[in-house]
Amino acid sequence: MGPCTAKITLEKLEDIRGAKRRKVVSRAISILKGWEEEIAPGAEEIKGAVTRASKKSIIKYGSEKLPAGPDLSSSDEIIIVEGRADIITLMKSGISNTIAVEGTHVPKSIAELTKQKGKTVIAFLDGDRGGDLILRELMQVADVDYIARAPKGKEVENLTRHEVTKALQAKIPAEQALELVRKRGSSRRKTSSKKSTRTKRVDSRRDRTPSRKESETRKKRTTRKRTPDVDGVFIEKAKEIKETFQAILYNEEKEIVGRCGVADLAQSLETSDGVSTVVFDGVVTQRLVDIASGKKIDLLVAAAVADLEKKPRNIEIVTFEDLG
């Protein structure tokens, strides 16, 4: 080679690409054969695994033995629903990190669970007034990050898999959900006011004098709606703060001594002295009643009352509806 004379003889031509292909095919056949014999599950094995997974049962959580999904403790995300039927519906959709409130009163176990570090809490509630009431109390006693709602007028337990997924994907921050509830309440009040005005106009056109029986009936209804034990100052304040999620604290002289959001009411009462009456746009819970009893508070005026296990005799509880 180089400057020397060389003689080259071509003995054979070979396509090494074909040899590589044959080697790859041979290896693939070997791997596939091993997969079929040792690794790949049979149809029966797959069916058995799916059946076992679908037979996960509802567990009981906390001292109240609340119904919960089997993956509640191991998941970083918690979904709070209203009842056991809601948990079953979500489990059918493959969601098992759930726990149920089981009523309008939020149990202590749920309040404590939501305050664990590293947990994202979603409340998935019915699209009705009951869902609004539970939302109010959850915001008072628990740390909730997001709110998901069933379509208006529907309950979570009756949703399809598609509706469940869509509702959870449409979740919004808890504070925004509260604001939406407040706006709906304001809208209802305006509509009610318009209807009342129209009714008054119709009544003013009537020249018929009501009978004695009708007058007595109306008088009884009016008497039932009013609560004579509640001072007018508190009644007016209740109307003013309705759907605002605020709490107003009064002393014995009916002077305002504090204001806060309903979510901070329990903490505010624990650190306040000389409070005689509390008017707030929230739910009277057992915890609030216990704190009020310890602080010698005489009157609680609220939007609603949860299921109370015990009610001290020294506290009067009145709802906005009672005030008329």
pLDDT given for residue 194 in this prediction: 54
Rounded CA gap, 90 and 107, in Å? 21
Asked if residue 69 lies in contact with residue 95, where contact means CB atoms within 8 angstroms, the answer is yes
How many Cβ atoms are within 10 Å of 208's Cβ, its own excluded? 6
pLDDT given for residue 129 in this prediction: 81
Residues near 311 by beta carbon (within 8 Å), at least 6 away in sequence:
289, 317
Q: Which two tokens stand for residue 44?
A: 């029966």
Asked if residue 317 lies in contact with residue 302, where contact means CB atoms within 8 angstroms, the answer is yes
Residue 315, judged by CB atoms within 10 A of its CB (0-12, 13-18, 19+), counts as middle
Q: Which residue has the tokens 């109390």?
A: 137
Rounded CA gap, 230 and 319, in Å? 11
For the chain, report the end-to-end CA distance as a whole number of angstroms. 113
Strands (E), the chain: 59-61, 66-68, 77-81, 98-100, 120-125, 146-149, 172-173, 246-250, 256-261, 277-284, 299-305, 316-319
User: What is the full per-residue pLDDT of the chain (324 aa) written as tens digits?
Assistant: 567 787 888 888 777 787 788 888 888 888 887 776 666 556 666 666 656 655 678 899 988 899 999 999 889 999 999 999 999 999 988 899 999 998 777 888 998 999 888 889 999 999 888 888 888 888 888 888 999 999 888 999 999 999 999 999 888 888 777 776 666 555 555 555 555 555 555 555 445 555 554 555 555 444 444 444 788 889 999 888 887 778 999 999 999 999 888 877 888 899 889 999 999 988 888 888 889 999 999 999 988 887 777 888 888 999 888 887
pLDDT given for residue 210 in this prediction: 56
Rounded CA gap, 78 and 120, in Å? 6
Ordered domains of the chain (ranges, CATH)? 54-179 (3.40.1360.10), 229-323 (3.40.140.20)
Rounded CA gap, 112 and 61, in Å? 12
